[in-house]
Chain A
């Protein structure tokens, strides 16, 4: 019974495939796997916009949306109708083709990333043996689409926003990949399915998630910092900084294309959160051994919702960083910490198990963490800038 409930989607797919002639089965199989993802995650996006507006409202002692439907639950539908009926304005001087393609590329890239995320037991679109690599390769396409949008609009605001976005995304892509390397070292595989399987065991009632090791915890923290920056969310929302460059790279977009940018951004956030869950939080596995009767996909989505809640909480709390603070954080703190973390993961691997291993690895991570953050906090003496070329 529990087994059936856990595998219900897999079984349903196999049952449906039974009605398809053998020639069309590969295509039908692909469609049957893709369509649920195309439905589930945009639906999650709709729920998240509502959750975010409600949560932020409550954090600011407001009510949030409460007019459309009970507790404002129909607000996403109202927003969708509004964005669909709005006029689609394209600037006269814009590069029309690129301007049109940019939101499509963004959404497409965001969706492609879900191909390697194991949503439940046996529920992964493609079990690629280079899954993590594929994820990051697709993730970099987002930068392309952002720059396409910023450049083709021919607006100084959108160009500035795109420049900021690209600079930020590339800066944080490096520590993000380096933070995942510890997992790849430990699991010995780039396949997301294998990585989750490695974490599925239990000691007593506690799971073998990578986040419950010193290097895994540090890797998770670094990964989440980089993921926040990658998805352009507060406190790293410089690319769209409303008070400075209005809406950044998508300022010249209106109507449904704007909604697509919004969708793409949130899908990207879910995908990176999903990867964080896969790599550090044990994917679809239950947090305690006595809870394994709950279906695996439910655990995945529960963890995803918790991470989304954390993102909203952070957004409601922190102010936006300045550009130099953003870059300093990336290159002077997150990147060195990721490198040290790799070293610690190696030491962990070769030391015999026991309390000593824990103490050594924790100390090796805590000391540079404190030192680097003190270095970040150090007051800088500003000098009068001398211009060599501009006079």
Chain B
């Protein structure tokens, strides 16, 4: 019959119209500022800088190698390398970024900076509501605004952060083992040079 499809369509829209008043499950709308959808773990918005420990300046993982600045396709990162070195979270002397700015009005959230970072220092944030009434200054994030703790990183990307932490722990263990081996070797050579006085402490050490 001619026009049957139109009538079917009209019935369908009428069913939707009245149904949306009757059953709340039909409505797919989320009333955004009041309600929010649960955060997806793989979500990403703009980069931030991870720091270890409690002091954001001391614990910052970034060593100002400027790889991310060079790789950034839209050139939204600005880094100024420090002249001096400061001890990092592990106590090792490192350069640090004197200035680290990201212009999020330019950033395209491509995550390339995260992929190229050898120090796991820059990661993607999930915060997406960043409105400001200053469209130039308000969207240019400085070092302090970018610095976020490792606990925060663990909270927003648990799987990824756990992998990073595990890799760090493994690396640290390897370094420690190496240092210990070196120390042992040194001790052994020293022990060889001097007439060996006692065998017991060596056995105690190995235990």
Q: Which residues of A contact B (CB under 8 A)?
A: 55, 58-63, 313-314, 316-318, 369-370, 373-374, 377
Contacts and interface: CB of A to CB of B under 8 A. Distances in A.
Contacts of A62: 20, 27-29
A313 B13 contact: yes
B10 interface: yes
A58 to B, nearest CB: 5
B135 interface: no
Nearest to B15: A59
Given A370-B2, A373-B3, A61 B13 contact: no
A59 B17 contact: yes
Please report whether the interface of chain A is mostly helix, strand, loop or mixed according to DSSP: helix
B196 interface: no
Contact of A313 (B10, B19, B26): B10
Most buried by B among A59, A313, A369: A59
A63 B2 CA distance: 33
Given A313-B10, A317-B9, A60 B2 contact: no
Contact of A61 (B6, B28, B31): B28
B2 A317 contact: no
Interface string B85-125: 00000000000000000000000000000000000000000
Nearest to A315: B13
B2 A61 contact: no
Interface residues of B, number: 18
Interface of B: 2-3, 6, 9-10, 12-14, 16-17, 19-21, 26-29, 31
A10 B31 CA distance: 48
Most buried by A among B14, B17, B19, B31: B17
A374 B3 CA distance: 11
A313 B18 CA distance: 12
Contact of A317 (B12, B21, B26): B12
B3 A61 contact: no
Given A318-B6, A373-B2, A373-B3, A61 B27 contact: yes
A63 B29 contact: yes
B20 A58 contact: yes
A316 B13 CA distance: 7
Given A58-B17, A59-B17, A318-B9, 4 more contacts: A55-B17, A58-B21, A62-B20, A317-B10
Contact of A374 (B2, B6, B16, B27): B2
A55 to B, nearest CB: 7
B9 A61 contact: no
B16 A61 contact: yes
Contacts of A317: 6, 9-10, 12-13
16 contacts: A55-B17, A58-B17, A58-B21, A59-B16, A60-B16, A61-B20, A61-B26, A61-B27, A62-B28, A317-B6, A317-B10, A317-B12, A369-B2, A373-B2, A373-B3, A377-B2
Contacts of B12: 317
Contacts of B20: 58, 61-62
Contact of A59 (B2, B3, B13): B13
Contacts of A373: 2-3
Contacts of A61: 16, 19-20, 26-28
B138 to A, nearest CB: 22
A55 B3 CA distance: 23
Contacts of B31: 63
A284 B47 CA distance: 65
A50 to B, nearest CB: 15
Most buried by B among A55, A316, A374: A316
A317 B6 CA distance: 8
Contacts of B14: 313
In the A-B complex, the 9 residue pairs with the closest CB atoms: A373-B2, A317-B9, A59-B13, A317-B13, A58-B17, A58-B20, A61-B26, A316-B13, A59-B17
B102 to A, nearest CB: 31
Contacts of B13: 59, 313, 316-317
A368 to B, nearest CB: 12
B142 to A, nearest CB: 33
A316 B2 CA distance: 20
Contacts of B16: 58-61
